[in-house]
Structure 1
Amino acid sequence: MAPPFRADQVGSFLRPQELLDARSNLASAKNIYAITDDDPRIKAAEEKAIAWAVQKQRELSIRPYCSGEYNRHIFYGGFFEKLEGMTTMPELPILAAFRTDFPTTTKLAEMGAKTRAAVVCTGPIRWKASAYMDEWKTLRSNLSREEWAQAKITIPSPSYQHIQLAPGTAFTKDSGYTNDKQYFQDLGHAYAAEIQALYDEGVRNIQIDDPNLTYFCSSQFLTGCEKDGTDAEALLDSYLAAHNVFLKTVPPDLHIGVHLCRGNMAGSVHWVTGSYEHIAQKLFHHTLYPTYYLEFDDAARQGDFAPLRFLPRGKNVVLGIVSTKRPELEKMEELRAAVREAAEVIAAAQGVEPSVAAGCLALSPQCGFSSSSLAGGKGMTMEGMWEKLVLVRDAARGIWGDHGAV
C-alpha cells in the first residue's frame, strides 16, 4: 500500500492578517471554544482566506488541498463543543483541574496562565450535526468535483479532552458514565457519525490529529501519571482502543491517517520531547490506521528512525522532516538522505529491499505551520511557508519519480 500523496501536509497554515483581524476577539484563551458560525464578518473572512489558500495550492501544485484550518482558532476547535452532552468550561484552574505535571498546563503556568479552557462531559454524548461540514463545503466550493478526492480535512483526536483533565474529571457523575470505556464508546460513535457525514458529502481523506499520544514518550508526563496513581500503559491502551471504535466503521474508499507531533505554538514552542520508541509498536500494531504522520525534523526532540522497525507491511509513514519551527530552508540532499535512512530501517525489519520499503513512505512538514491562530514558528513568514511546501513537493518528485528509488 502506498500513501495517497508522496508530498503531503499537516493541514494548518499561517493565517492572513485580514482573518486575524476579523477573529481578534477570540485571541483570549477562554474563547478557544467560542462558536462563531453566525458571525457574518468572521465567516466572510474565513471564506475569503480559504479561497486564497486553495488558489495558492493549485498554482504551486501542492496537494492535498487543505483549508489551512482557517475556520478554527486552534486545531482541535469546533468538534467537542458541538456534541450534545459536552459543556465548555472556559476558565478551569490550570493546576487544580488538570493532570499533575501535564506538560501543556505546566508550561502555560510558567508563562503566567492561571486558567485554561476545556470541554467536560456533563451528559450522554450524542452527535447532533457535523462540526466540520461548513469547513468542508467552503473548501470544496473552490474545487472541481474531480478535485474533491485531492483534498483533506483534519479532526482532533478522541482523547484530547480526557488526557489533559485530572483523572476522573473528563465526565461528571451527571453524565451517566461510570468508566472511561463507556465515555469513549459513545464518543467513538460520535466520531463515526461525523466521518460518515463528511464522507457522504465527498470527503475521501481525513487526518486525525493526536499530538498528545507523544506525551507517552515524555518522562514528565509519565512521572505525573505515577503521582496521580494512573497506569500510563493502561491509559495508552484505552486511547488507542478509542480510535479503533470509529476506525472499524470507515468506508473502504476513505483514507484516514493519524498525525503525531509535539506542537508548534508561538515562537516555535513545543510541549514535549522523547522518542517514539515507547509507543511505536502499540501505535502501529494496535490501531487500524493505514497511515501515520510522524515528525522527524529534530533528533533531539523526537529521536531517530529506529522505532520505524515496528511498522508492519501494508502500512505507511509520512515523514515530517521539513521543519515548521525554523525558517531556514532544508537542503534537498538532506531530505533524500533522511528518506533513505528511514527506508533502510524498515527494510531491515521487514526483510525487503530499501527501494521496496521506500514505497510505504512519503514526505511532509513535521507539524502544522500554526497550531492556533497566533501560533507558528519563530521567524516563519507566509512566503517561507510556501517555500517549505514547495520544497516538500520537489523533494518527493525527486525521490519517488524514478520508480520509488532512493
Structure 2
Amino acid sequence: MEKRTTPPFRYDIVGSFLRPPKLQKARADFAAGKVDATALKTCEDEAIRDLVAKEKAVGLLAVTDGEFRRRYWHLDFLAALEGVTEVKAKHWSVHFKGHQPKAATIQITGRLGFGDHPFLEHFRFMKSIAGDTLVKFTIPSPSMLHLIPCVRAEGYEPIAMYADERTLFDAIARTYREAVRAFYDAGCRYLQFDDTSWGEFCDVAKRKAYAARGIDLDHVAREYVRMLNKVLAAKPADMTVTMHICRGNFRSTWFSSGGYDPIAEVLFGGCAVDGFFLEYDSDRAGGFEPLRYIQDQMVVLGLITSKSPELESKDAIRRRIEEASRYVPLKKLALSPQCGFSSTEEGNLLTEDEQWAKLRLIKEIADEVWA
C-alpha cells in the first residue's frame, strides 16, 4: 500500500508523554517557590530535547513536546487567551472514576482573542530542535472554550458582550482562526484539536443530566460543527488539522462512556477536519458502525490503550483494524494510542519504558498491516 507522506501517519501519537522525574521535581519546586521561571524553563527545554530524540528513535514521523510545559492538556492554553480568566473551582464538573485532578476552570471575562499567545514560543522551540522531522502541536478544541464555562458550569451567566450565544460562537471561531494562522506563520503544518465534548455527548447518562438542565446537546453539537468549520476554513491547503476525541484521561481513569452513535452523523459527516483520532481501546467506545458516516477524513484508530502497561495482542489488533475497514477503506485508516500518556502533569499509571513499548508495538503492527 502507498506510504503516507502527510499526516496523520499510519502509526501516530495523540500528543502527551509521561513527565520524567527531574521535570516533575522542577515543576513542584517552581510551584513551591524554590526555583524561578528561568530555571524551570531550562529544565523543560532539556526534557523536551531528550523526548524528541526518543520519539525519533522509536520511528515516529511527527514529534511533539509531550505537553511538558503544561499542567493540564487544556487549561494552560485556554487561560492564556485574551478575555479568558482561570479560576479555582469548588469541585470538578466532571468526575473521573477514581482520582480527581486539581480543581481549576475558566471563565469568559472579556473580548476573546488569540493575542501574543505563549504557546507560539513553545512551538517555535520545537521547530528549532526537530530538524527535518515534522512537529505535531496539540491545543484544546474550540468546543472546549464553550463547553467548560458555558455548558458544564451550572448557573452560567454570559457577559453583556456575549449575551447572544451566536455572537459568542462567532467570537470563538474568530479567535481560533487567528490561532490557526499564527501557528501556520510560525511554521506549524500539523495541528491537533483535543476535544472531550464529543465524548460527553456520547454518554447516555450525561445526555440525560444535560437535558434535565434544559440543554439541548443536539443543538450544541450542530453549533460546534458550524464553529469548527468556520475555523477550518482559515486552514491553508498544506496544513493538516486533526481532532482527537477523548472520554477523559487522568491517572488512567475516565469520565465518559458510550459509542459514537449520537454524534456520528453530525460530526463525522459534517466536520471538515483532515482526520479523527478516535478512542477504541475498550467496550466503552462502542462498535465501528458509526464510522459509516466518515467522509474524506482519515481515521486513526486508538486501539492501543495508554491507561495500562499490558501490551495488546498483535493478532487481536489486526482483527479489529480489519473489522473497522468494513466501514472505512483500509487506506484511510491508521493506528495510535487511544489518548496521550499524560493528559495532566501527574501522568497515567505506567512507566516510561512501558510507554515506549506501546509505541514500538504500534509501529510494528502498522508496518505489517499497511506493508
TM-score scaled to structure 2, two decimals? 0.91
In structure 1, C-alpha distance between the alignment counterparts of 2:207 and 2:236, rounded to whole Å: 36
Residue matched to 1:351: none
In structure 1, C-alpha distance between the alignment counterparts of 2:99 and 2:272, rounded to whole Å: 38
In structure 1, C-alpha distance between the alignment counterparts of 2:100 and 2:55, rounded to whole Å: 38
Contact 2:303 2:337 in 1 (8 A): yes
Deviation string, structure 1 residues 306-363 (Cα, Å, up to 9, x no partner): 1111112x221000000111211112212211111100233xxxxxxxxxx1000000
Deviation string, structure 1 residues 185-232 (Cα, Å, up to 9, x no partner): 112111111121111121110110002211011122111112211111
Among 257, 261, 266, which residue is 1:273 paired with?
Answer: 257
In structure 2, C-alpha distance between the alignment counterparts of 1:253 and 1:54, rounded to whole Å: 23
Residues 1:290 and 1:276: Cα distance change in structure 2 (over 3 Å): same
In structure 2, C-alpha distance between the alignment counterparts of 1:246 and 1:42, rounded to whole Å: 34
Q: Which portions of structure 1, spanning 4 or more consecutive aligned residues, are displaced by more than 4 angstroms? A: 25-28, 110-113, 166-171
Among 108, 121, 126, which residue is 1:134 paired with?
Answer: 121
Residue matched to 1:302: 285
Residue matched to 2:200: 215
In structure 2, C-alpha distance between the alignment counterparts of 1:112 and 1:311, rounded to whole Å: 34
Residue matched to 2:302: 320
Give the residue type in structure 1 aligned to 2:304. Answer: V
SS class of match (1:86): strand
In structure 1, C-alpha distance between the alignment counterparts of 2:121 and 2:15, rounded to whole Å: 16
Contact 2:100 2:250 in 1 (8 A): no
Deviation string, structure 1 residues 14-55 (Cα, Å, up to 9, x no partner): 000111111116879xxxxxxx9x811211111111100001
Residues 1:65 and 1:199: Cα distance change in structure 2 (over 3 Å): same
Residues 1:283 and 2:267 are matched in the alignment: yes
Residues 1:375 and 2:362 are matched in the alignment: no
- Structure 1 residues 66-77: aligned runs within 5 Å: 66-77=64-75
In structure 2, C-alpha distance between the alignment counterparts of 1:171 and 1:19, rounded to whole Å: 39
Contact 2:258 2:285 in 1 (8 A): yes
Residue matched to 1:101: none
Residues 1:117 and 2:104 are matched in the alignment: yes
In structure 1, C-alpha distance between the alignment counterparts of 2:326 and 2:175, rounded to whole Å: 40
- Structure 1 residues 81-160: aligned runs within 5 Å: 81-90=79-88, 92-94=89-91, 104=94, 106-107=95-96, 116-144=103-131, 146-147=132-133, 150-160=134-144
**How far apart are residue 171 of structure 1 and its match?**
6.1
Residue matched to 1:17: 21
In structure 2, C-alpha distance between the alignment counterparts of 1:321 and 1:26, rounded to whole Å: 37
For structure 1, which runs of at least 5 residues remain unmatched after alignment? 29-35, 99-103, 347-356, 402-406
Identity within the alignment, % = 31
In structure 1, C-alpha distance between the alignment counterparts of 2:39 and 2:169, rounded to whole Å: 36
**How far apart are residue 112 of structure 1 and its match?**
7.9
Residue matched to 1:386: 356
In structure 2, C-alpha distance between the alignment counterparts of 1:112 and 1:143, rounded to whole Å: 34
**How far apart are residue 58 of structure 1 and its match?**
1.4
Give the residue type in structure 1 aligned to 2:278. Answer: L
Superposed CA RMSD = 2.3
In structure 2, C-alpha distance between the alignment counterparts of 1:389 and 1:157, rounded to whole Å: 25
Residue matched to 2:277: 293
Contact 2:108 2:149 in 1 (8 A): no
In structure 2, C-alpha distance between the alignment counterparts of 1:333 and 1:399, rounded to whole Å: 11
Residues 1:193 and 1:170: Cα distance change in structure 2 (over 3 Å): farther
